[in-house]
Structure 1
């Protein structure tokens, strides 16, 4: 069926709100749950009445509108989040670099999208999922400016013969996500004899979360950038401009300046302080719109007077039950670094460390960082493989005095990442697959690796 106007198309789309996929499906496709595209295919074929295809042009070609059916979920705190990234089209490395952003394969697909949201519920049958909301999305000029820079970042690597080094974390909103059955899903690239993983232009799940909240909830996240500012400056440039006037100031004085209590034992103090320095009312830097949409998490780094870093940097706790069954690109370790950027908030101490002596640091600077793809597929992958091997064979727990050591890959493993305990006390333990109990472990980045990141500017 051909829809003559966007208004006609939207009337049809919004009439689906409240309907279940079981009610819409007239083809029996919903029974084939092995295909990820099943639900989208049901809407295309049964509801809008057009044949499924994989052409590069928009689904409703005469209107320039692409149809996307995507899930969201309701979080425990009542907020909504995207369940997954929104995948658009496979990147043709051999041709994409010849285009401009305006003529890119991404823009030909995503310039105008009809997005139909359904709520994912793990305890509900798929045929009972309901279409929750249908809306026509037009990107804001600010978002398009960020996506233009993202596209240029991706294409620059293609043009340099480095398509094999592309990482999702290279970019802010628009990413090049891996797309294929396995590691053998590869494509040729220009200017290099090396093949590169097959990838697709995608809108990050974090960006989709912001988009979903915009349409589903009246309360929006607070932004620190001025209207139109992201059209002419990168996020990193804006962050440096906002924070630079505060470099060299002691943290307790910064707290006084913004009107919050200095309490180093309060873990929320630093994110609260940073949010205030950016000029927003939110109490947590992670709740700011730009950080949420670009999937940026903050981490604090403490430098000693001699420039060294005393502590390793901790991340997520290890889930030993899933690590031996998950695929690499679906693993929690891969997602920690392949899909996220980190904002390092750097603080410096002017007095040497002494046990039990409190020190007040100075705010020194920031660095926006993501792990290079070579490191992800190198040292990080090696850590994951060694962890799987040890857990599969059975972790060795070795009592020595009052302590218990193990053979998990530790700080001397590869100079980049390792495992070590992170628990509230010695009794804070988790069960291993072989039935042994072990002190809860987390993924860490080596302090020497962090120092190298900060000095490689």
Structure 2
């Protein structure tokens, strides 16, 4: 192991030398591969693990220089945590921050010449498995890879460009203060400040905006090709479709089938054969066939954007035929988990592709539209109130008393078990029927009308 001041074990000006030296970290820990004795508390300083990798393994002095970490080779070093999922798989724990957005300068850039693209041209990405009770010195390095934004598939780059332009357009319009992570799919403008009171000037408005940084979303980092998700299949692109954004591509696939009934679509895709029972998830299967994806494969673009497809059957009255439900909750877990750490919070932050079927005069449901939906930020506060109220009732021993739709504009709680005997224990020891959170049908009616008009 080289000491500070001695010849480096790699050539700082050679990209391949740097990469091959970095590969020695894969499957190992910083304790095993360096003389580091401790890493500062990662909860107080999120950059402490990355700083330790730079200093103890690559022998780079920590600094605040905006130049690449390996100046001679033009390579930026990024460390990013992974987490173990409930199913045993791995996913990115956080977005990958690329660099700060200068509102005053970004309006003078094009995507191709932007500071963001320049920063993301050559990234050495080192991903480690974060475990809450583990000493950071013992975090195991799972992945070492070179990432070049310009080297991504054409469809990915087209979507990232569209995301970049969506954010920059808001700055051009004097609306930097209205930027939200929900505006985009792969690339986001995430808040980045020491505290929530910090603000920065923007060029076309006197209203100051939150400081933000360019970042690749955690879902995109998880689903990058050949990374953490197996059995992914991309939506096929024909001639002239390579530069389409994701929603443009999806709409182009669905457009030829608008107006057809569920039964007609089922027959078209081989699910309506005589004597064969109609699958319960027929509409979900139809969606996959329209997109040209196998029944058992994960849709690559949806994984990258964190999108979940959801069938919405809309009655002639405009009301959804069904409310939208989520998996049942565990009463112990609900009592112990605040909203911000809950699965329900992640469902509310999720993007959904609503595949809309509308009832016609004969009572048939016909495919009519597709649109992306994410709960507006103001409504998330209402969802949190529903969650915390149900949590309070469970803690106080009233788990049997669900939050009704009349008590909350967006959400409610009701049974989600097979029958009244399908129960779970509560912290007080009694057994209560399984329950889950639902989005109110009336609330969904308004949201479907809003996004389908917009799209």
Q: When the two structures are superposed, what TM-score results if normalisation uses the length of structure 1?
A: 0.82
Cα 1:265–1:147, aligned 2, differ >3 Å: closer, same or farther? same
- 2:91 aligned residue: 81
Q: Using the TM superposition, name which of 222-231 and 16-25 deviates more.
A: 222-231
Q: Please state whether the residue corresponding to 1:379 is helix, strand or coil.
A: helix
- Are 1:442 and 2:436 counterparts? yes
Q: Distance in 2 between matches of 1:112 and 1:329?
A: 34
Correspondence for 2:419 among 392, 413, 425: 425
Unaligned runs of 5+ in 2: 1-7
- 1:281 aligned residue: 294
- 2:4 aligned residue: none
Deviations, residues 316-355 of structure 1 (Å, cap 9, x unaligned)? 43455455665655443332233x2111111233478xxx
- 2:30 aligned residue: 21
Q: How many equivalent pairs are there?
A: 435
- Are 1:243 and 2:243 counterparts? no
Cα 1:389–1:36, aligned 2, differ >3 Å: closer, same or farther? same
Deviations, residues 79-135 of structure 1 (Å, cap 9, x unaligned)? 543333223334444544444323444323322211123345678664333333322
Q: Please state whether the residue corresponding to 1:226 is helix, strand or coil.
A: coil
- Are 1:224 and 2:235 counterparts? yes
Q: Distance in 2 between matches of 1:418 and 1:216?
A: 35
Deviations, residues 371-416 of structure 1 (Å, cap 9, x unaligned)? 233333x433443454455455x2536xxxxxx5x1x432123422
- Are 1:260 and 2:263 counterparts? no
Residues 200 and 211, structure 2, Cα contact 8 Å, conserved in 1? no
Question: What's the offset of the Cα at 1:215?
Answer: 4.5
Residues 65 and 114, structure 1, Cα contact 8 Å, conserved in 2? yes
- 2:58 aligned residue: 48
Deviations, residues 174-225 of structure 1 (Å, cap 9, x unaligned)? 123344576x3542352556655554322122211222x51478x6521113
- 1:455 aligned residue: 449
CA RMSD, Structure 1 to Structure 2 (Å): 3.3
- 1:50-449 residue pairs with structure 2 within 5 A? 50-72=60-82, 80-93=90-103, 95-120=105-130, 126-139=136-149, 140=152, 141-179=154-192, 184=196, 186-190=198-202, 196-211=209-224, 214-215=226-227, 221-226=232-237, 231-260=242-271, 266-283=279-296, 287-318=298-329, 320-321=331-332, 329-338=340-349, 340-350=350-360, 361-376=365-380, 378-391=381-394, 394=396, 396=398, 406=401, 408-449=402-443
Q: Please state whether the residue corresponding to 1:363 is helix, strand or coil.
A: strand
- 1:7 aligned residue: 16
Cα 1:337–1:264, aligned 2, differ >3 Å: closer, same or farther? farther
Q: Distance in 2 between matches of 1:88 and 1:335?
A: 23
Q: Using the TM superposition, name which of 319-328 and 161-170 deviates more.
A: 319-328
Cα 1:142–1:366, aligned 2, differ >3 Å: closer, same or farther? closer
- 2:46 aligned residue: 36
Q: Distance in 1 between matches of 2:214 and 2:175?
A: 16
Q: Distance in 1 between matches of 2:178 and 2:425?
A: 37
Q: Distance in 1 between matches of 2:259 and 2:25?
A: 57
Q: Please state whether the residue corresponding to 2:39 is helix, strand or coil.
A: helix
- 1:355 aligned residue: none
Runs of 4+ in structure 1 off by over 6 angstroms are: 262-265
Q: Distance in 2 between matches of 1:105 and 1:333?
A: 36
